[in-house]
Amino acid sequence: MKTIAIIGGGITGLSIAHRLQRERNSGVRYLLLESGNRLGGKIVSVAEQGCTLEGGPDSFLSHRPALRRLCGELGLDSQLIQPETGASTLYLWQGKKLKPLPEGITQLVPRKISPFLRSSVISWPGKMRMGMEYFIPPKRDEGDESLASFVERRLGGEMLRTIAGPLLAGIHGGDAAQLSVLSTFPQLRRMEREHGGLLRAMLANRRQTAAAAPSGNTGGGFYSFKNGMQQLIDALAAQLDPTKVKLGQRISRLWRGSQGWVVQMECGSGISVDEVVLAVPAYSAATLVATLDPELRDEFNAIPYASSATVSVAFRRADLLNSAQGLGKGWGYFVPPKAHRRLKACTWTSAKFPARSPEDVFLLRAFLGGPELNHILQGSDNELEDIVRQELRITLGIRATPLFTRIFRWERGNPQYVVGHTARIARIDQLLSRHEGLYFAGAGRTGGGVPGCVEQGERLAAAFLEERTQAVSR
């Protein structure tokens, strides 16, 4: 019987454990070790005064099948919800007011020409430059480049500064000039390589996209759960063997013993296992392998992380009737760096997911962070709350006193997939190959959000099971 130690109880570690639990007669056992007092990592949902607050991601994209398949296995299909049909507009803070983004922008390219032409977000010279993308030859080499370089090369500087840079980089809480296009949005380079450009790709795929879209789906492929993303974590935890899940297990180091791996706990005891998965942030993995392999430690430490915070704020809906612009007419807004505002973005939770708050309450969720704003996160909760209220007063005209505010801090919570990240992961894998039975998985490895982490976990678990099957057959 082979035992796999899974270090880290986030969505990646849980996905590995889930797959091994389902195949519990395969001869592969697992032991899930989490240093904190809860499972789920950045996925956390909290109920407060009738509201459902999301500390981390509030939804996921359905373009990767692994997570939708997992929902079916866990009996969660009936719990899936999509954003409100009539609230899909996203706004941009520009010229000291909110401007709606043109309807139908997908993969940075408008699928509907008329709304784009009527929009004032991009100037006419900027629109003409975007149209020229059709005639720009594709980059043929396989080398990495920054998101900023890709967008400016294909669509022009105005599109980069106004929409693409803040929108795409904001997903990762980073700087578009530093983030790798191959590690964050590889589909953009794939569209360029396979079709010759983004406009060509959109035209080629237009019919396929329309045919594949579910009837009545205006949520852009986004899904969540009725009671918050925490439902996914709770469902995964409920089907695991509780004797194989250990919380509050702080690990000091790893080493290779005569019979396999030894996971050394801070309390002094050691656990002997056959293989180890480091489903933790790269900087945590660096600490665990520091004495085992200094070169591997240095590669892990070279993956940068950014801090962030989400701040949920609830108001009486009646208090906002004469003050807030745009509320209820979209999902929220984002802010380009050149606007010099202290909020990166704001989601109108009550408009996006109406069931997340009572009818007489309007729930907002603000985002703070990014390399240029990390200093803000060093403030106290009162200071962060004051910043958010000041920003909401400026951008939305809200002067009302909140019913409550809830802050979720994520120190070093966002891996930064900088240019060269793919090559760094290849070097990490090469170094890991020197240590048989040691693996690295999770958000620090690759992008893709929650679906990407689930996909990683299932792929690694499948490899363990296949390896065991081959060993038995020999």
- The confidence score (pLDDT) of residue 119 equals 84
The confidence score (pLDDT) of residue 219 equals: 47
* Residue 52 resides in a domain: no
Is the confidence at residue 322, as pLDDT, over 70? no
**Whole domain around residue 285: which residue ranges?**
2-40+231-303+417-473
Residue 429 lies in a domain: yes
Q: Is residue 378 part of a domain?
A: yes
Q: What is the pLDDT of residues 140-190, one digit of tens each?
A: 888 999 999 999 999 999 999 888 888 876 777 788 899 999 998 888 999
Of the candidates 115, 160, 95, 114, the one whose C-alpha atom is nearest the C-alpha of residue 133 is: 160
Residue 207 has pLDDT above 60, yes or no: no
Supply the DSSP string of 306-369, one letter for each residue. EEEEEEEEEEEGGGGTTT-SSTTSSSEEE--GGG--S-SEEE-HHHHSGGGS-TTEEEEEEEEE
What is the number of domains present in the chain? 3
**Mean pLDDT, residues 321-336:** 75
Instruction: Say if residue 36 is in the same domain as residue 112.
Output: no
Return the closest-CA partner of residue 104 out of 118, 84, 125, 124. Answer: 118
Report pLDDT for 213: 39
pLDDT digits (tens, 9 = 90+) for 96-130: 888 888 876 655 677 777 777 888 889 999 999 99
Same domain assignment for residues 309 and 359: yes
Find the mean pLDDT for residues 286-303: 97
Whole-prediction pTM: 0.91
Last residue of a domain, one of 187, 213, 239: 213
Residues 408 and 309 in one domain: yes
Which of 415, 432, 450 represents a domain boundary (last residue)? 415
Query: Of 365, 392, 415, which residue is a domain's last?
Result: 415
Least confident of 96-105, 194-203, 320-329, 381-390: 320-329
Q: Looking at residue 121, which CATH number applies to its domain?
A: 1.10.3110.10
Co-location of 19 and 147 in the same domain: no
pLDDT attached to residue 204:
84
Return the sign of the alpha-carbon dihedral for residues 373, 375, 376, 378: positive
Domain membership of residue 133 (yes or no) is: yes
More confident residue, 258 or 328: 258
10 lies in the same domain as 138: no
pLDDT tens, residue by residue, 417-447:
999 999 999 999 999 999 999 999 999 998 8
* Whether residues 181 and 274 fall in one domain: no
Claim to verify: residue 410 and residue 426 sit in the same structural domain: no
User: Is residue 152 in a domain?
Assistant: yes
Please give the average per-residue pLDDT across 398-409, as a whole number: 95
Same domain flag for 321 and 391? yes
Please tell me whether residues 313 and 337 are part of one structural domain.
yes
